[in-house]
Every structure is written in C-alpha cells, then in structure tokens.
Amino acid sequence: MKFDRIYTVDEISKLIDVQYFGDSKIQVLGINEIHSVEQGDITFVDHPKYYSKALNSDATIIIINSKVDVPDGKVILLSDDPFADYQKIVQHFRIFSASNQFIAPTATIGKDTIIQPGVFIGNYVKIGDNCLIHSNVSIYDYTELGNNVVIHSQSVIGADAYYFQKKNGAYRKMHSCGKVIIEDNVEIGALCAIDKGVSSDTIIGNGTKMDNHVQVGHDTVIGKNCLIGSQVAIAGVTNIEDDVLIWAKVGINKDITIGKGAVILATSNVDKSLEGGITYFGSPATEARQKWKEIVALNRLAKNNT
C-alpha cells in the first residue's frame, strides 16, 4: 500500500513509539510485505532466520526486534513486537469505516453500469462503464473494477486475506491494506470469493472468466484471458500468467507461478510452479500424458498381482 503523501521516519517512529537508526531524511512512501516491497516501503521481520532477507530487500524501512548494523540507504525501527507495530501502521492508514447504506457515497460508478437489488458497494470503490453486478454481491472497500465487468450473485470481492501469525498459543490477524483490481471484460461466476491483498493488490487480468465457487487468495495475480472452472481454489501470492486454462476442482498452492498457456485438468493439485504451454493432470500435477502412462502401468501391475 502506498501512502497518500510522503512521510518522514520521525513521523512513523512516533506513530508506533519506537527508536530508529539510520538516515532520518529517508522518505517513507508505503508499507508492504517482504515479497512485494519497493524502495520507500516499510516492512517487518521478527525472526533471525529472515533478518538477512529483509535487510537486503528493496524495503527502505525495516521494523526489527534486534539491534543490527544498518545497511546503507536504510532505516531500522527497533521494536519489541514488529508484527504488532506493523499492524498499528496498517490500521492507522487503512481505517475501517462502517457503512449504513448499500452503496457508499464515496463509491464511483461508471456510465451504463447496472447494479441489481441487494448489492453492497463499500467505501472508495471504483466501478467502470457498462458493468453488470447481480443481486447480493458484496464489493468491499477500495476495490476497483474496469469496464464491461460481470459479477454474478452472492460473490464477495475484497474480503480480508486469510493470514494469521501464531504467538503464545493463539492466532493474531494480519490486517489487510491491499485491494482487489478487476480489469476490463472480466466475468466472475456466482458464489466466488476474491480476497484483497495483505499489503499489495490481488489482480484479475483483462478478459479472464471464472465459473461458480472459485476462491482466489490474497495478493494473487491472474493474467489475461484465463478460464477458471468451478470449485478451483487458488492460494495467496500465486502468479497465473496469460491464457491459462484451469478446469474444475483444481487446488493450487501458494507462492508459485503457472506459466502462460498452461492447461490444468480437473481435480488436479498443484504444489510447485509449472511451465507454460503444457497440459497437466494429477496430484501432484505433472505432464498429463506421463501421468496417464503411470496410471495405466499401475492398473496393469494391480491386475497382474490378482
């Protein structure tokens, strides 16, 4: 998430009441998780295993729970609980504002867009021209829809990321400050759920079509002209490139990439990145023809042993 203006290190350190070390003139532009940080961003780290990754990332300001050497061009915010202080910053800049009406006054809706009865549209939502939003859809705050988007009944766009940290035997929620961006000519089926990014954005590319009951996790980026079948579950921080076909009941793990033009056949499960231009099947998913040969060989082996 980028802030609405440039902040100073001193302002941020006072906000969470911690000491800082490094160049006080550094500009603070936003806040982000380690996998999405850019120069000027704040991130956090609270385990020695990941100190090096955070300190050598593109982040400029690092909230950390140990005094370390400050890398050139960076600032350290020394915190007893980096996760909690990161959350304080998120909640300060992305305050939840309750709504008492179906369409928030801060939402903008384009020309010739149809909003069916019972649709909820939250604060600062942007909807383009010639869209069709069917009854009982919920569109959470800050979501952005392009032109010619269709969303079918009961879908939820922009719910919080499913992201928790376990500490002292309980789970602490990581509050979401990203959003969902749906580009032009996208169609979302009924009863789908597309979660906002934790700190960056979940993006659905131009021309992509989803069947019913699809789950898209936080910070996932889906490319252009993809087809996604019913009951597909896509975990967070997944990158699905253009022209990918995913058939029904496919499960896709987090932090992986599906290459351009890949086809994943129904009921497969994907646990690692897949090259583009290949058809996959199975659990775990592998090249389909090879998987079918394995199945035939196993069937023959079973018959020979009976």
Active site residues: 218
d(CA 175, CA 92): 11
| Alpha-carbon torsion (101, 102, 108, 114), positive or negative | negative
Looking at residue 2, its amino acid is: K
Q: Rounded to an integer, what is the distance from CA 299 to the centroid of its chain?
A: 41
Number of H helices, E strands in the chain: 4, 34
List the structure tokens of 170. 């309980």
- Considering only CA atoms, which of 224, 232, 266 is closest in space to residue 252? 232
List the structure tokens of 33. 């998780």
d(CA 55, CA 71): 7
DSSP character at residue 2: E
Instruction: Give, rounded to a whole angstrom, the gap between the first and last alpha carbons of the chain.
Output: 61
List the structure tokens of 107. 């939402």
Under 8 Å between Cβ of 230 and 250: no
Q: Give the gyration radius of the chain's Cα atoms.
A: 22
DSSP character at residue 213: S
Looking at residue 306, its amino acid is: T
Residues paired with 21 in a beta bridge: 76
